[in-house]
Each structure stands twice: as C-alpha cells, then as structure tokens.
Chains A and B, each alone.
Chain A
C-alpha cells in the first residue's frame, strides 16, 4: 500500500487567513494530485504535479497555489481563504505508470468562517 498522509485532517479558520495543507508520501511516486469534494459537485481537480517543481492547473485552480520542492511533499496553499473554499480536500498519488490508479489520502476537512 502507498504511504500517503494529509495534514491537518481538520482545520477551522477565518476568512482572509492563509492556509496550507500538506500531502506527504513515502514511496517516491512521480504524480501527486489535489482535489476538493463538495456536495453536488463531486471530486474536482485543483492542481497536480508530475515531478519536483513541475505542476499544472486543474479545473478549479483559482484561489489556490501549490508547491513541490521535494518528491515526497505536495503543498496546497490558500493565500486568503474564503467561505467558498470550505470543503474536504483529498490528496492522491498515482501508483504504477502514467495510467496507474490513484491512491487517495484520508482527506482534510477545511472550514472557513
């Protein structure tokens, strides 16, 4: 099984504050992904990475930035959190090759008041 951990698992913050979510993997996988999941919208891709310092935008990237300075960590930052960013955030890693399955973390529940 892939080792993937997300932190924090739960966070409550106020509008306008910066927030960083961390995704950590232990198995050197090339591809990492950040999704958000909301009722009625399903799972939507925010950003993904295909290597150290190589990232690209997903369908809902506005208001989010990411960084990957080393293979094992993929950080998602909300520079100035808004209530519309209240969501459950899932990190995933791709196992196997370019078409491999995604293995998801347990999720980070973020509430922006």
Chain B
C-alpha cells in the first residue's frame, strides 16, 4: 500500500539553527509533493510545492528537496525562530487525491 512516512519523534532545536524534516514515500510515484504547516486547533496551511522534475525549491527561509531515486523529500527551515514551532506535514499526490504523512512536530526554543 502507499505510504508517506515522516519522523514520528518531535524535533527540538535551538533558535537560529537549521531544522531538517524528512519525508519518505513508498509504493508511490507522485508527480509532486507539498508541505504544510499545522498549528494546534487549526487546519493545515500550504507552504511549498515541488514537482518531480525539480530537485530543489526555496521560499524565504524554507527549502525543500525532492529525490525521486531515494523516494525522499527534505524540508529545511534556516535561521529558525520560536514562531516556527508547529507540526509540519508532507503530502504526495495520487491522481487528484492528496495523501498526507502523520507530520513531524517541531519545537524551536530561544
């Protein structure tokens, strides 16, 4: 069956460091991946999209990579801030459907 796996352990880092979150997928050949941020009690909010023919995408302090050989995406937040603390969700398309991983919780401490 199709799976999207993200680090289940929460990631704790110090302010100013780079946070790196991992997303691995199996039994998938997604045309694109999307990353979302979710705060407690709220719906997910879109951050970045990367297509299968793109190796890297950047937006301000965010960077995402897509390695179709490893079947993996890495999501980086540089110069992290306490306001970046949230759960980050990776998603992959299957046709018109968009399926999500369980998310990784990020805590940035001052």
- B49: chain A residues at CB < 8 Å are 99, 101
The answer to whether A58 and B46 touch across the interface, beta carbons within 8 angstroms, is no
The answer to whether B31 and A101 touch across the interface, beta carbons within 8 angstroms, is no
8 A Cβ contacts from B24-51 to A: 31-32, 34, 36, 41-46, 49, 51
Per-position contact with A for B85-110: 1 when CB-CB < 8 Å, else 0? Answer: 00001000100111111110000000
- B51: chain A residues at CB < 8 Å are 99
Count contacts on A: residues with CB < 8 A to the other chain.
25
The answer to whether B46 and A102 touch across the interface, beta carbons within 8 angstroms, is yes
The answer to whether B97 and A43 touch across the interface, beta carbons within 8 angstroms, is no
B8 to chain A, nearest CB (A): 9
Interface SS of chain A: helix, strand, loop or mixed? strand
Per-position contact with B for A31-58: 1 when CB-CB < 8 Å, else 0? Answer: 1010100001111110010100000101
The answer to whether B97 and A48 touch across the interface, beta carbons within 8 angstroms, is yes
**Contact surface of A with B, Cβ cutoff 8 Å:** 31, 33, 35, 40-45, 48, 50, 56, 58-59, 90, 92, 98-99, 101-107
Residue ID in chain B nearest A50 by CB atoms: B96
The answer to whether A42 and B93 touch across the interface, beta carbons within 8 angstroms, is no
**Contact surface of B with A, Cβ cutoff 8 Å:** 31-32, 34, 36, 41-46, 49, 51, 89, 93, 96-103
The answer to whether A48 and B46 touch across the interface, beta carbons within 8 angstroms, is no
Residue ID in chain B nearest A40 by CB atoms: B102
The answer to whether B96 and A31 touch across the interface, beta carbons within 8 angstroms, is yes
The answer, among B34, B97, B101, for a CB contact under 8 Å with A56, is: B97
- B101: chain A residues at CB < 8 Å are 42
The answer to whether B43 and A105 touch across the interface, beta carbons within 8 angstroms, is yes
The answer to whether A99 and B93 touch across the interface, beta carbons within 8 angstroms, is yes
B33 to chain A, nearest CB (A): 10
